[in-house]
Every structure is written in C-alpha cells, then in structure tokens.
A and B are shown apart, each in its own frame.
Chain A
Amino acid sequence: MHRLKNMALGIATEIIYALLIIGLGGILGSIVILF
C-alpha cells in the first residue's frame, strides 16, 4: 500500500513538473510577443 501511494504521488509530481514547463513556456511566449 505504501509503495502504491508513493508511486501515485511520484506520478503526480512528474505530471506537475511537465505542466509547469508547459505553463512557463506559455507565459514566456506571451511576454516575448508583447515586447
């Protein structure tokens, strides 16, 4: 159970990392276009 919980939280962490990169890319793109 403990291993499954760690795995689920690990997957969530990795997906948050991926979404963060995508979000930062979106913000940066918008800023560069503005200037």
Chain B
Amino acid sequence: MILRPQLKDLKVVGFYLGKMILGLSLFMIIPMIVSLIARELNPLLDFLISFLFCVSAGLLLHIACYTTKDPQWSHGMVVISLAWLLAALLGAVPLFLSGHWNSFLDAFFDAMSGLSTTGLTLVQDQSHLSYGHQLWRHLLAFIGGQGIVIVILAFFVRGGSGAFRLYIGEARDERLLPNIRRTAQFIWVVSLVYLVLGTLVLGLAAFGGGISFWKAMFHGVCIFMAAFDTAGFAPHSQNIMYYHNPAFELTTLVIMILGAINFKLHYTVWSGQRWEIWRNIETRSFVAVILALFALVVLGLNQTKVYDGAVSMFRKGFYHLLSAQTGTGFQVIYSDQFVSEWTSLSMAGLILAMSLGGCVCSTAGAIKMLRIGIIAKTFMADVRRYISPPSAVLIEKLHHIKQLILTEAQMRSACLMTIAYVFVYLLGAVAGMLCGYPFMESLFESTSAAGNVGLSCGITSPTMPAALKITYIVLMWAGRLEFMSIFVLIGSAVALMKGR
C-alpha cells in the first residue's frame, strides 16, 4: 500500500523550495550589477524582471508553507529534484528575455545545461550576448557545480540532520566535516580560492593574447567558472578555439582536472595530508583511465593522420580527451570536425571518457572514478578468489581518504549505478536515432548530455527536434542528480495520485 503524502509533507517541500528560489534570486543581483557597470539597460531590465519574479515566487512559497519541521529522506529527494527543475525554469527567464534564444524551451535547455554543468547550448549569435547574460550563463554553471543545495545550506539552513538529507539528495554522498553547513562552506572556500587564482591566470593569458585588460579579466572569470565547474560554456561561439593560445589551453587543462577532484580530497590535501592525492583510488583510476583512453584516441587519429606531429595531437587529441573525461566539454575544433575528421576509434575513446567521468563529490558528472575503481577491485577480487584455495579468506581493500575494506554493498551499488548510466546513455542514443541521426553521433551526444559533459558533434543546435531537446534536458537533469532523487519524485507523484 502506498501512503499518500499529507499536507504537512507538501508544506516541508514548499518551504524548502521557497528557500532555494530565494537563494537563486540573490545570484541575479550579480549580473544586474555587471549590466549596470557595462551600461546595458535592456539586460538590466531582463534581470530586474526575473529577480522580482523569483523573489515573489520564493517569498510566497516560504510564507504559505512556513514550517519548523525538518525534511525527511523523501522530502529531501523531492525538494532537490524539483529545485533543479524550478531553478532551470526560473534561470531561463532572463535568457529568454534577451531574445538570443528562439523559444523558452531553448532558454530552458541552456539553463538546465548550465546548472547541470553540461555545457551544450542553443544560443543564437552567442558572441554578441550582453555581459550580463554571458555572466548569468556561467554563473548558472558555477551555482550548479557547487550544487544548488550547497548554496542554500551555506547561507540559509542551519546544519542539522534535515540539511544532511538535502545534501545527500543532490548526489553528494560524502560529508567533509561533521557539520553539514561547514561542509557546504568549505566547498565554497575551495571554489572561491581557485576562482581568484584561476581568473588571474586566465585573464593574464587572454590579456597576453591581445584582448583588452578588463575584457580579458571578464573572459577569465567566465572561463574559470566553466572549467572548474566542468561546464564547458565560453563567451564565444568558437569556445576555447577563439583564443588560439597554448597558455590558455594549458591553464584550462589544469583547472578542469582540479574541478574533477573530489571535494573531500581537496579538504584532506588542504588539511595537510598531501600524500593522499597519490594514494587515493579515485586519483589513481583517473590517471590510468586517461592514459589508456588517450592511447586509444591517438591510435584512432593516427589512422587518418589528421594531426601530424605530437604537439598538434596533444593540443587536439589530449585536450578533448581530458575535456571529455572531466566532463567539461571545452572544444578547440568545430563540432562537425568530430564527424568529418575523427575516426570511429577516436570517437569511441571520447565516448568512453565522457561515460566514465571524474571523481565523486566533485563538479564532474557520469559514472565516476570511485565506482570504476571499485568495479576494477571487484573484478580482481573475483580472479583472486578463483585462483586461491577454497578455504582461503580473502579481504579486498581500497584506499579512499582512509584504508577501507571493500564490502558487498559497495560493489553492488557501483555496478548498479554503472548499469543505470549505460542504460540512460543508450536510451538517449535511441531517441537520437528516432529523430534520424546516425548511431555513433546519437550515442556521442546522448553520453555528452547524460554524463554532463557538453562536447557536441553537431546534433545540438536550435534546429534540432523539440522532442530531442526535451530528451536531453531530462538526461542532463537525471545525470546530474544520479537518478535516485528523480525516482523518489516519480514515486511521490504516484503516491499523491493513487495513495491512501
């Protein structure tokens, strides 16, 4: 028997959704200030309208659903899945008002792409977007990369068990500090310290490349937010190719890797346990997977000799591989060059990298390295079991922040989550094929959307069918939240209709 949610349950959900919306509205003040400084009146009005709309909606929910009750597990999951949808809908309002998106669906697509740190875009005439709107796209990626709930936890919610349930719902299953509010604040500290450093280095690299100082700094901020939060947006339609700058590319490579590192590992390394970075199962798996897949990509690219020489191979092949593996989606070639110049083998290397992703509890998406490490350990444990005497007791260990014994539950969870991701990648590929695109391109784009990567081989464009846009929106949303919150939302919706 399914129990129908009661009014008090709906009030908890509404109350926390109100807090989330109010938190989002505060972020709209930043592009408003930028628009004011840049003397862009129309964008300023776009953000003012959106801000007032968000504040009204947030206050209405907050007052109408006021409660002192802490959210339970199911509330947390429902709040998170709805918060991401609502944030994308409300975040799309200023984008749509700018007139650079064909429809509200296109603006919603970009807002979800930003929040989920994917980076696929349907914007028109991107290079002429106002400063305010440019910053808003990147800010959405920054907010999404930290996690919407982290924003709220850090500033608006007292750190209790209810806050922890919200935190878990956002696919962050590692607590850095005993207090969940301090965990959220530490995540902000890491991001803001790197924001200052990264912006300076990228800004100076762009300035060295011939861009005026303040514009270079603006590009530095935008590109940092897109790189560290593994989103892949850029102020220009040519993405990173626009800069034609090896120093810029090298800096983004470093920032992408930093963004794909587990926040718990950041905390451990920043607390003085610096050797952890060399011992952790995730960082080791990350290096091993990147090197193996890069060999595959190079072998593929060598088949047609499209890039002659090691430097060219590195700047194109390795850059895209790392961009795919970290889930960033920065590109230094045009989208259609993947189809016209890259072989199936090198495309397969990129698809595998996109499907595997970075570390858990980072800004990266997809299956993630901890699960890959656990699956590899499980495989080795099985082999060892077969070659050992039947009476032998075998214990498999792994090092993740501390020495852990690998449990059946961890193995099962890693395998199930991997199967779920592969299923979703294939489902998206089928949707692409139903819309008339070839298998390889469909799988590439679907993996990019569900893995929150953002590399595109050309399918994602304002002219693609609306059904495929909606499919990719769902894939980005589900991929970012790692499915569970969405299943709970669906279950709650069913309970609301059919429960007793």
- B178-204 interface bits toward A, Cβ cutoff 8 Å, 1 = contact, 0 = none: 000000000000000110010000000
The answer to whether A21 and B287 touch across the interface, beta carbons within 8 angstroms, is: yes
Q: Which residues of A contact B250 (CB under 8 A)?
A: 22
- A10-33 interface bits toward B, Cβ cutoff 8 Å, 1 = contact, 0 = none: 110111011111101110111011
The answer to whether B290 and A25 touch across the interface, beta carbons within 8 angstroms, is: yes
The answer to whether A13 and B287 touch across the interface, beta carbons within 8 angstroms, is: no
Question: Does B19 belong to the interface (CB within 8 Å)?
Answer: no
How extensive is the interface on chain A, given as a class?
20 to 34
- B340-374 interface bits toward A, Cβ cutoff 8 Å, 1 = contact, 0 = none: 00000000000000000000000000000000000
Q: Which residues of A contact B254 (CB under 8 A)?
A: 15, 18-19, 22
Residue of A nearest to B295 (CB): A32
Known: A15-B254, A17-B277. A29 touches B314 (CB 8 A): yes
Give me 9 other A-B pairs in contact (C-beta within 8 A), A6-B271, A18-B254 excluded. Answer: A7-B270, A10-B272, A11-B270, A21-B287, A21-B290, A22-B250, A22-B318, A22-B322, A29-B298
The answer to whether B197 and A11 touch across the interface, beta carbons within 8 angstroms, is: yes
How extensive is the interface on chain B, given as a class?
35 or more
Question: Does B291 belong to the interface (CB within 8 Å)?
Answer: yes
User: A interface vs B, CB < 8 Å?
Assistant: 6-7, 9-11, 13-15, 17-22, 24-26, 28-30, 32-33
Residues 125-156 (chain B) with a chain A CB within 8 angstroms: none
Known: A14-B261, A18-B258, A28-B295. A9 touches B274 (CB 8 A): yes
The answer to whether A26 and B318 touch across the interface, beta carbons within 8 angstroms, is: yes
The answer to whether A14 and B277 touch across the interface, beta carbons within 8 angstroms, is: yes
Question: Does B447 belong to the interface (CB within 8 Å)?
Answer: no
Give Cα A26 to B310, complex, Å. 8
Question: Does B238 belong to the interface (CB within 8 Å)?
Answer: no
Q: Which residues of B contact A10 (CB under 8 A)?
A: 266, 269-272, 274
Give Cα A13 to B280, complex, Å. 14
Minimum Cβ distance to chain A for residue B279 (Å): 12
Q: Which residues of A contact B298 (CB under 8 A)?
A: 28-29, 32-33
Question: Does B234 belong to the interface (CB within 8 Å)?
Answer: no
Q: Which residues of A contact B253 (CB under 8 A)?
A: 18, 22
Question: Does B257 belong to the interface (CB within 8 Å)?
Answer: yes
Minimum Cβ distance to chain B for residue A27 (Å): 9
Residue of B nearest to A18 (CB): B257
Residue of A nearest to B268 (CB): A10
Residues 287-306 (chain B) with a chain A CB within 8 angstroms: 287, 290-291, 294-295, 298-299, 302
The answer to whether B269 and A33 touch across the interface, beta carbons within 8 angstroms, is: no
Q: Which of B194, B310, B317 gathers most chain A CB within 10 Å?
A: B310
Q: List 7 A-B contacts (CB under 8 A).
A: A10-B270, A21-B257, A21-B287, A22-B253, A24-B287, A25-B291, A29-B313
| Selected contact of A25 from candidates B270, B277, B322, CB within 8 Å | B322
Minimum Cβ distance to chain A for residue B20 (Å): 30
Q: Which residues of A contact B272 (CB under 8 A)?
A: 6, 9-10
